[in-house]
A and B are shown apart, each in its own frame.
Chain A
Amino acid sequence: MNEAAASSTANSALVTFAIYLLGVFFLAWLSSRVRRRREFMGEYFLGSRNLGLWAFALTFAATSASGGSFMGFPSLIYTHGWVLALWIASYMVVPLVGMGLLGKRVNRLARQSGAVTIPDLIKARFKSETVGMLATLLVLFFMFFYLLAQFKAGSKIMTTLLEDVATYQSAVNAVGSTIDGLPWIGSAEPDYVLCLLVFAFSVIVYTAFGGFRAVVWTDVMQGIVMGIGVIILLFLTLGQVGGLRNATEQLKEMTPPETGTGIITLGQGQTETITLPKGAWLRLADGGIARLAEQASLAKGETQAEAKLLKITTPAEVERIPPTKFAFPVSAIFTADETKGYGRGRKGVYVSAPGPHPESEDGFLNVWVAISFFFFWAFGSAGQPSNMVRLMAFKGTNILRNAILTVSIYYTVIYLLLVVIFCCGRILLPGMEVDSDRIMPELAAKVTSNAGVPWLAGLLLAAPFAAVMSSVDSFLLMVSSSVVRDIYQNRVNPSASERQLKRLSYLVTAVVGTLAMLAVLNPPQYLQDLIVFATSGLAGCFLMPVLLGLYWPRMSAMGAIAGMLGGLGCHLLLYIAGYLIEDKFTAYQLLELNPFIWSLTVSGLLGWFCSLRQIKTPKNK
């Protein structure tokens, strides 16, 4: 992409982002006006249980589609090809399972008991303070990790999307000089700190001020932005690759690029330090072409430097890609890394399973992993407390019925089309493996620029903002409702006045958000893995006790406690085993199955067994 196009795209991203934030604040203000006329707790944390079709459907869909859907998922499609259709395939039943499995029963019980939060609901079903408290602690424990990860994801997306904006770069420099030398945040990247501050401030303000209704209304807006963005991107991309058939035919002939080390040679020594930017294309001595996977610097007078390179191996691409023009001659000699990965030098890997992988001999998705993911997406969605709480808020079965239909169509549009779009993206943008998380903004900029409508990139780039924001706000409210309702109102001060609860809710939402922001100012390693840890942990602990509790009247409090603790224990045990065996923060994949499957099984069996045992004990007869 040329500089003018990049600048135009960046400016349109900034303008869109500004308009988008204004819209979000307007909705928060509007929802606070609605709240004045209603009972505070039910309205602030549950929108008075009267969500209509569009609000319920889109808040459910948007909350589920986090930043990963628009950054991580496209990156995976780009890197591994059509096999991602199999990876995401269970989204064909996710709306049915995620909303239909628990929807009617959760909603009915919540209305009968007046429950406002999931721990509230669990406490009401099992008539046990202990179960309610355990649920609260689990929600707080896992949700805080989730919140940290989403805050970081939101900031990373902003830094990626705004990095070419001149005004933004000036602000980054100012932040850099301010934080330099400060403890804790001094070592963080200034662009990351700036984006985190803006992102966190916006989310905390509109969530604290607007409550559940603001979160739902902004989710609706965000859901619409995501849907429109994907459809526009589909048409532009398909048009520019000559149709899907043509794209698949080209993908068939592609072979995965090779990673390795390059000796970069300048034709002549320079009179000043030279920096070759990451992403620059270099002509190789053997006639091939490679992309710089990192910035390379040569001091004054030096003519050689070593840097990581990505060598393109598909002949048609080698011929098509011109090397980046510099004011001096540059060439490179490439030495490939020794890897045991799958797909090296093989045609057809992008159009077949298991998909190429640079390190794994089994490729990206072997059959066992595919089975695991099929059940993980479906049950994982049903077991998220942030989704369950939405099931407490719809008006009646008619709304549930239409919402399942709406979300089914919505997910078909979003997920199936994203696979199509980013498979085509491989053709339009070769060598993005050097920074595959940037494929979404790069593709948006490329196709809108090619189509002569660079301003449209702003709308497309709003989709990832929307995805992350719609998840963060929901998780923030979940954590704050657990503190205010489940701990303060239910345990500390049951006779708290509405005024006290109102002030505390604002305060807790703001404090929790600020704490999460401070915790990720200097982001810990493995944060992305924490998302998986929290998601699978929550579903593993909650799904079976809630499911059995709703459908099996004999499920007891003892069973629920055993189920939750069993799920938690199994989850932690697999992570500890994974850490000991692989020396990194990952779960041990027993029999190659996702650890969530094991937590779910253990949780269900323990819940069932302990309830049966309690029934058979004479004192409980």
Chain B
Amino acid sequence: MSDSSNAETRSLHQSRRELWLILMALLGCAIWVISYCSVNGYNLSPEEVSTVLGFPDWVFRGVVLPWMIANIFTFWFCLRFLKNDEDEEEAP
């Protein structure tokens, strides 16, 4: 197998690992957001809605909080997990 073919294989394997992690992150966010909001956010009377930093509590815990955590995850993913291809510099 040539060097370029090896590099392509390694790039594909690393990209696949990144792909699965991205899909897991999407699924994780979907489960958190949809399950929390569907249980705690639907058909509420005004008395049942308290606020956190001005947001309705179900919006804060069901959307804002996971949004911030998703951003932290994105930072980790980009800075630690997303790898440069080894032959990137030689790419035409």
A interface residues, Cβ below 8 angstroms from B: 82-83, 85-86, 89-90, 92-93, 95-97, 100-101, 104-105, 108, 111-112, 114, 243-249, 252-253, 347-348, 351-354, 367, 370-371, 374-375, 378, 396-398, 400-402, 404-405, 408-409, 412, 416, 550-551, 553
Contacts and interface: CB of A to CB of B under 8 A. Distances in A.
A405 B78 contact: yes
A80 B58 CA distance: 16
A553 B5 CA distance: 13
Contacts of B30: 90, 371, 374-375
Contacts, number: 165
A245 B55 CA distance: 7
Nearest to A91: B67
Contacts of B46: 252-253, 347-348, 351
What are the 3 A-B residue pairs with the smallest beta carbon separation, nearest first?
Answer: A244-B54, A352-B44, A252-B46
Given A367-B42, A401-B79, A412 B71 contact: yes
A370 B37 contact: yes
Interface residues of B, number: 51
Nearest to A105: B15
Contact of B84 (A354, A398, A405): A398
B74 A408 contact: yes
B74 A404 contact: yes
Given A97-B26, A367-B38, A92 B67 contact: yes
Contacts of A370: 34, 37-38
A83 B43 CA distance: 11
Nearest to A81: B56
Contacts of B26: 90, 93, 96-97, 375, 378
Given A90-B29, A400-B82, A353 B41 contact: yes
A244 B74 contact: no
Given A89-B33, A96-B74, A370-B38, 13 more contacts: A85-B64, A92-B33, A92-B63, A93-B25, A96-B77, A97-B22, A104-B82, A347-B46, A348-B44, A353-B37, A396-B88, A398-B84, A551-B15
B59 A85 contact: yes
A351 B49 contact: yes
B68 to A, nearest CB: 8
A352 B75 contact: no
Contacts of B16: 551
B91 A112 contact: yes
A104 B18 contact: yes
A318 B92 CA distance: 68
Given A92-B29, A244-B53, A351-B46, A408 B15 contact: no
Contact of B11 (A108, A353, A402): A108
A397 B88 contact: yes
